[in-house]
Amino acid sequence: MLENTKEFFEILNSFDNYKLVLYGHQHHEQETVIDNAKFYSPPSASFQFDRKVKWAFEDSPPGYGIICIKNSNTFECENRFLNIKIEPIYEPTK
């Protein structure tokens, strides 16, 4: 979670030509458009967290993102997932 959101957008908005903001480490993919710019987070290379339940895992496999930047200043973001099943290993707290 971004703790300095206001400051981040103040800096970002001082530029008028940004089109893509990349971020991650949230353990699931996400694409959002804000002020005509795409904000993209690729899927986790390990476990995907459930977006609805805090600290729960989804059944989705590990993945990664591919970003294709074209000559026309356009881009495409694509999520890819591995064809494997992994299970989290953790010890419940006592």
Conformation bin of residue 36: beta by default, left when phi > 0, alpha when psi is -120 to 50: left
Residues 47-73: pLDDT tens digits?
A: 777 777 776 777 788 889 999 998 877
Quickly count: other Cβ atoms within 10 Å of residue 43's Cβ: 23
pTM: 0.76
Half-sphere exposure at residue 13, Cβ-oriented, CA atoms within 13 angstroms = 8
Q: Please answer whether residues 57 and 88 qualify as being in contact, where contact means their C-beta atoms are separated by less than 8 angstroms.
A: yes
Helix (H, G, I), strand (E, B) or coil at 11: helix
Domain coordinates in residue numbering, the chain: 17-81
Report, as ranges of residue numbers, the positions in the chain whose pLDDT lies below 70: 1, 55, 90-94
For the CA atoms of the chain, what is the radius of gyration?
A: 16
